[in-house]
Amino acid sequence: MGFALGPRALQAGYKLAAFDRTGSTNTDAIERARAGERGPMWFVTTEQTAGRGRRQRAWISPRGNLAASVLEVLDVAPAVAATIGFAAGLAEEAALEKVSLEAALRLGPDRPRYALKWPNDVLANGRKLVGIGLEAEAIGDRLAIVVGIGTNVVGAPEGTPTPAVSLAALGVQISAEELFSALSDAWVEFRGIWDNGRGFAEIRKLWLERAAGLGERVAINTGATTLEGIFDTIDDTGCLIVRTADGRRLPVAAGEVFFGSAASVGAA
C-alpha cells in the first residue's frame, strides 16, 4: 500500500510528495518552497534519517513510522503562524482516534487514551507518541510554514525526556499509510477552523478539552531557568499560563514541560 491523500484533502487541493526514504520531510518541504512551490502540499515517508525535534534534537524515524510535513504558504505574521501547531495536534489526535477504533473495541478499558501536551506533542497513556515541530521562512511577501508531524507507528525512541511509546506497543495495528490518509483529511478540518489564525479561539477551546496536565503541577524547563506551578490554561497567543505558589499567572512561550511527579525530575 502506498501513501495517498484522503478524499477531503484531495478535494481541498492538497498535493503529495511521498518518499521511500528521506533525510527530513521538513527540509524537503522548505526546499520546495524556496524553489517556488506554494502548496498546500504534504511530504511523507516511512523512513526518515535526519529529522529534527524540539531544540534541534535528532528525530530519526525508523522504517514503518510516519514522518509527515505539510507546507502552507500564507499571508500571516510569525506569531500567528506559531498557533497552527495547536491545529496540528488536534488533527493528529482526531486521526489517531479514527484509526484506533478497532483497537478500542478489542481492548476496552485498556484502549489507548490520547491527550495533547503543550506545546505540540500528542501523548498516549501519558507517554509520547507524536512530536510536532514548526518551521517558517519568509518567501517573498508571504510566510512558508512547515508543520512536521512524526508518529511512532511501529517503534519508539529510548532516552527521551518524556518516555515514548508506539502504536504497535499499544495494540493499535495500523500502517503509516493508513494513518496518513486519516491525518490529511483531519488536517483539512482543523486547518479550516484555524483559518489563518482567525479561528484560534475555537482551536484553543478544543485543544484545552484534550490537554494533558491541565490543573496539575507543572515544571517548565526553558533552558535558562525552570518555572514551577500549576498548569492554568493557554492564552490567546498559545502561551502556557503557570499559576505560581504566590498566585502570579506567568506566560511561558517555549520550554520542556513535565507534569505531576515528573515535575520534580524536570525541576531538578
| pLDDT of amino acid 71 | 98
Closest CA to 15 of 37, 34, 31: 37
Phi-psi region of 222 (alpha: psi -120 to 50; beta: other; left: phi over 0): alpha
Q: Is the pLDDT of residue 56 over 60?
A: no
pLDDT band at 265 (very low <50, low <70, confident <90, very high): very low
Q: Evaluate whether residue 36 is within a structural domain.
A: yes
- Name residues whose C-beta falls within 8 Å of residue 244's C-beta, 6 or more positions apart in sequence: 227, 228, 229, 250
Residue 71: inside a domain, yes or no? yes
User: H or E segment at 224?
Assistant: none
Considering the domain boundaries, does residue 89 fall inside one? Answer: yes
Distance CA 80, CA 204 (A): 13
Q: Which of 210, 222, 153 is nearest to 183 (CA)?
A: 153
What's the chain's length in residues?
268
Residues 239, 205 share a domain? no
1 occurs within a structural domain: no
pLDDT at 187: 98
Name the domain boundary from 179, 209, 239.
Answer: 209
- The whole-number average pLDDT for the span 190-213 is 98
Question: Tens digit of pLDDT for each residue in 19-35?
Answer: 999 999 999 999 999 99
Residues 231/199, Cβ–Cβ less than 8 Å? no
Q: Does residue 9 register a pLDDT over 90?
A: yes
Residue range 154-163: mean pLDDT, rounded: 86
Q: Is the pLDDT of residue 219 over 60?
A: yes
Provide the CATH number for the domain around residue 229. Answer: 2.30.30.100
Q: Do residues 124 and 244 share a domain?
A: no
Is the residue at 2 inside a domain? no
Provide the domain count of the chain. 2
Mean of all residue pLDDT scores within the chain:
91
Q: What confidence tier does 268 reach under pLDDT thresholds 50, 70, 90?
A: very low
Do the domain assignments include residue 51? yes
Same domain, 177 and 238: no
Which pLDDT belongs to residue 69?
A: 98
81: domain CATH number is 3.30.930.10
Cell of 136: 517558517
